[in-house]
Structure 1
Amino acid sequence: MNHHSTYDPTPITAIATAPGRGGIGVVRISGKDLAPIVSALFGVAQLKPRHATYLPFTQADGSVIDQGLAIFFKAPNSYTGEDVLELQGHGGPVVMQMLLARCLEAGKDAGLRLAQPGEFTQRAFLNDKLDLAQAEAVADLIEASTEAAAKSASQSLSGAFSTVINALVEKVVHLRMLVEATLDFPEEEIDFLEKSNARGQLLTIQDALQKVFEQAAQGALLRSGLNIVLAGQPNVGKSSLLNALAGDDVAIVTPIAGTTRDKVTETIHIEGIPLNIIDTAGIRHDHDEPEFGENIDVIDAVERIGIERTWAEVEKADVILHLLDASRGPTRADEAIVARFPDGVPVIRIWNKIDVSGHHASVDEMEDATHIYLSAQEHLGMDLLRKELLRIAGWQQTGESLYLARERHLIALKQAREHLEFAASYAAQNDQSLDLFAEELRLTQDRLNSITGEFTSDDLLGVIFSRFCIGK
């Protein structure tokens, strides 16, 4: 595979460790031939590859910046596939900056420049050291916020996701080959679909793709989390619920209605799944009458903006937690709130304050929504809510590996699934539509290939790698 249309051969350098003070800091250099830079830095013709050499890092005038290890990786046996030099010194920011400046000075004649964010990993991709899904897993591993997410990212980095995608592509290619061959020899076309069991092969591919999609969707959830919006009238206990779920006093809890004027977002983890819980301004429409939309001028401007923002969050929610006060039952204002919820978004109706109302903690599956009775204040029934949130997230603790998929991967898998559905509809028309059947298989293959970067436009590469941190 040749990606080299995008290749810039100039050597690059950056600090590869996180900013701040640490025991060790690393400056990394990558390029086609680093011998001149090694010579300028250390006055030796070469360093023994893959061997840690302890030596002083010096300024051009011979004064010592630091003592540390230099490790040289000879191309192609390196992370980027080029010559790579790593200088490991003490991790103070000043020392690292001085060492980086010295490298740039020593490599000036060789054209050494600062690396762009993600450029080391981009070179690894361009030199076929990693495919695109593996390269993205590098960034995901760095950003992983839970153990489960880190595990899935390292799965993808080891190539597990790519292996599954490539196996799917092979199945599609095999079926394409059969169809194309039949189209080339029309006299052999008699009952092609029957003889080659094309429909059966297609069904196998569809099942395999569906399984990958489910695992990738679950992995995407591990990456970015489920967006849960708390909505309800003022003072029904939204902030108390957020605190009970988060196990911390993150929101102000007071008996004064309308305390939360803007959204408060808290990410919590349940079974390794990040849940982004958004506490919003209470939806109130009139101080006196709970009539929806009447005398809206009574509400001060700040609160009105808070309420509009609440509806904006509700529109984007993956799950809505609609809080009601169990001690006073539903009101007309609660019904008006429900009327504005967007279609298709799961709603959990939470009857809070059961410590006052006398209800027991319980879950009730109703047609309109799942109803949960709890007390956020007294932490009664909170496990029932956690369990329901995991169920909605589709969390199954199977032993199967999840792939830390990105939105781009899910879109490509969805499109591939659609093309297979079209292919199936043409297969149902017997052998009259074989050319259309073949075309849908080709489009399926294209979509799957875009995940691993077999065929990827240069501008997409730029976007993907620019999101990395510098030094990777």
Structure 2
Amino acid sequence: MLATDSDPIVAIATAPGRGGIGVVRISFGRAGEAAGALIEALTGQALAPRHASYVPFLDGKGEALDRGIALYFPAPHSYTGEHVFELQGHGGPIVLQLVLQRCIDAGRALGLRLAEPGEFTRRAFLNDKLDLAQAEAVADLIEASTEAAARSAGRSLDGAFSRDIHALVEETITLRMLVEATLDFPEEEIDFLEAADARGKLARIRQQLANVLAEAKQGALLREGLSVVLAGQPNVGKSSLLNALAGAELAIVTPIAGTTRDKVAQTIQIEGIPLHVIDTAGLRETDDEVEKIGIARTWNEIERADVVLHLLDARSGMTDDDVTIAARFPAGVPVVRVLNKTDLTGLPAAVTLPGDGAAGSDLREVRLSAKQGDGIGLLREELLRIAGWQAGAESVYLARERHLIALRAAQEHLMLAAQHADQNAQALDLFAEELRLGQEQLNSITGEFTSDDLLGVIFSRFCIGK
């Protein structure tokens, strides 16, 4: 029988492994009327709604498998919006599996089955307990790798992101109504765009959208982080810089060129932003087959980088070999030139801004000593600048790449709408169409217009039990 969104489902809702407490959760779907009978079969008694009861968890012979807390949440006042039952017992893997199997056996006549990944949260979305952005925030909160990311995911789960999107949608709908009313009554000889201040309304919507996109970009940065690749010739201090940024001896450091033969990766935090720092093999011509493989992997990492730190020896600066290396860096990827080993030159740590002598209009140079730690703070600040991070952004909400794609698409449609507005009444139909398309993009974020295929992809990445 094919699984449906109305089947009763069950799963262990706590993380795999041993723990003090383990939770088995049932959402009854279409079998809600039978909830009381199944609960009594599992606990030996009827339960008062939303009251914690200390009960035995009974096997098929009426003997206790475990004892713990049972909770019953009648629909619609539950996480999924359906009748939900939870058994909270001891967190041993064996006892949890016994309780789970007992639930499946006792509910077999109802069609009770094991839940798929994310199915409880999917039902919360389908039953209007959460919108799609909030549902995604559940998984983001679980997976948050920093305190800032966890707080931002909590804001999204609380509906902060969704409220801003809904406000944009409402403003867009209001403007659409004005435009389409004018299209329906062409005999009205008025300049609609002037009388209704359509341009002004659209400009305000576009500014609100730009603000939301800026916050979403920062939220996506908190969720995904930046991939930072350390690149350069051998023995310029890449491994020392990785250790200095991480605050730990992660990479082997010797004066022997070619010590690092493969990448060494470490995730660090700067202002709550995850930075995935990758130390790579030194770039040079070599006959060593193993080193050649490491160099090839270095270029693969550089191709995927969000930021490249091009390390140079501060004593020699930019050599011909460094020029050759820099010429191969992918276009569009920010590059910071890092002049390391200033402790051997007597020069102070500093940042050279564009126009202050650094080659290239956007290229910045940071002078530092990875060995002494001088200038590491300057490099961290430079990475934050490249990331576009705004300090003290308490209102940031966590966002995903699909949210950014939808926001940018909406921004494009509203820009086209503004262009059509400049053509006055001759382009009102095109103005209205671009507003409609922009609204659809915004609605896709919260799930008002979202394909079943996309829902399947989103919820399949959740853990079982959520």
Calculate the TM-score normalised by the size of structure 1.
0.94
The residue number in structure 2 matching 1:320 is: 308
1:231 and 1:282 in contact (8 A); partners too? yes
Matched, 1:465 2:442: no
Which amino acid is 2:23 matched to? V
Task: Please provide the CA RMSD for this pair.
Answer: 1.3
1:230 and 1:322 in contact (8 A); partners too? yes
Separation in 2, partners of 1:398, 1:447 = 29
2:65 and 2:99 in contact (8 A); partners too? yes
2:147 and 2:272 in contact (8 A); partners too? yes
The residue number in structure 1 matching 2:25 is: 28
Map 1:351-362 onto structure 2 (within 5 A).
Answer: 351-362=339-350
The residue number in structure 2 matching 1:133 is: 133
Separation in 1, partners of 2:197, 2:92 = 65
The residue number in structure 2 matching 1:18 is: 15
The residue number in structure 2 matching 1:232 is: 232
Say which is worse superposed, 434-443 or 262-271, in terms of deviation: 262-271
2:5 and 2:123 in contact (8 A); partners too? no
Separation in 2, partners of 1:82, 1:366 = 60
Separation in 1, partners of 2:289, 2:455 = 45
1:40 and 1:107 in contact (8 A); partners too? no
CA deviation map 1:397-427 (0-9, x unaligned): 2444112100000000000000011101101
Q: CA deviation at 1:306?
A: 1.9
CA deviation map 1:398-457 (0-9, x unaligned): 444112100000000000000011101101111110000000000000000000000111
The residue number in structure 2 matching 1:272 is: 272
Map 1:38-437 onto structure 2 (within 5 A).
Answer: 38-44=39-45, 46-188=46-188, 190-285=190-285, 298-367=286-355, 368=360, 369-437=363-431
Separation in 2, partners of 1:319, 1:191 = 50
1:261 and 1:303 in contact (8 A); partners too? yes
2:80 and 2:121 in contact (8 A); partners too? yes
Separation in 2, partners of 1:301, 1:449 = 54
Say which is worse superposed, 302-311 or 246-255, in terms of deviation: 302-311
The residue number in structure 2 matching 1:291 is: none
Which amino acid is 1:433 matched to? A
Say which is worse superposed, 398-407 or 180-189, in terms of deviation: 398-407
Separation in 1, partners of 2:189, 2:123 = 47
Say which is worse superposed, 368-377 or 411-420, in terms of deviation: 368-377
Query: Any stretches of 5+ residues in structure 2 without a counterpart?
Result: none
Separation in 1, partners of 2:434, 2:419 = 10
Matched, 1:9 2:6: yes
Which amino acid is 1:36 matched to? A
CA deviation map 1:146-189 (0-9, x unaligned): 11000100100011100000000000000000000000000115
CA deviation map 1:355-386 (0-9, x unaligned): 11221111111352111111111111111111
CA deviation map 1:34-78 (0-9, x unaligned): 22321321233x310000110111211233211101000000000
Separation in 2, partners of 1:334, 1:98 = 63
Calculate the TM-score normalised by the size of structure 2.
0.95
Which amino acid is 1:24 matched to? I
Separation in 2, partners of 1:165, 1:436 = 23
Say which is worse superposed, 135-144 or 361-370, in terms of deviation: 361-370
Which amino acid is 1:443 matched to? L
Q: 1:77 to 1:259 in 2, by over 3 A?
A: same
1:423 and 1:437 in contact (8 A); partners too? yes
Separation in 2, partners of 1:434, 1:311 = 51
1:133 and 1:452 in contact (8 A); partners too? yes
Which amino acid is 1:333 matched to? D
Q: 1:308 to 1:449 in 2, by over 3 A?
A: same
Q: 1:452 aligns with which of 446, 449, 452?
A: 446
Q: CA deviation at 1:327?
A: 2.0
Separation in 1, partners of 2:250, 2:386 = 24
> Partner of 2:338: helix, strand, or coil?
strand
1:318 and 1:345 in contact (8 A); partners too? yes
